[in-house]
Structures are given as C-alpha cells and as structure tokens.
Amino acid sequence: MSRIIINIEDGIDQDDAILLVKWVINAGRSSDDGGQYCYVTTWKTGHVVCSGKSKKGTDIFNVSLEKHA
C-alpha cells in the first residue's frame, strides 16, 4: 500500500492543498533521477509545495504560502 503525508500550513484550505499536491503528483517524479516528485513547486498565487520522503519511503508534501522577508 502506498501512502502520502500532506502537511498544510498558513491556514490554506484543505481542498486547495489537495488539488496542489494532485498537480505535483500528476506531473510525475522529476527530481532525484525520477525517484521523487519535484522538490519545490510554486504558483503565482504564492502557494508552495515542497516534497520529500520519509525514511520508510513515504512521500511527504508540505503546502504553504511563500514567505517574503
């Protein structure tokens, strides 16, 4: 069974976060020689999806808003 973890920050709506992660997943595994989803995907809306993997290989997605210094 495959699992994913989605961490949602900055008060982003859950439905919006799921759609953003779905877009990243549909784009395919393009990082780490095809072994991982894109490390960082950004949108003009300021949304950011960062992906990684747990030690067990579970895909982890962090959805947030772009931070400006």
Phi, psi of 33 (to 5 degrees): 55, 40
Domain-wise residue ranges, the chain:
4-65
pLDDT, tens only, 26-58: 999 999 898 899 999 999 999 999 999 999 999
What is the pLDDT, as a whole number, of residue 1?
A: 55
Secondary element (H or E) of residue 23:
helix 14-27
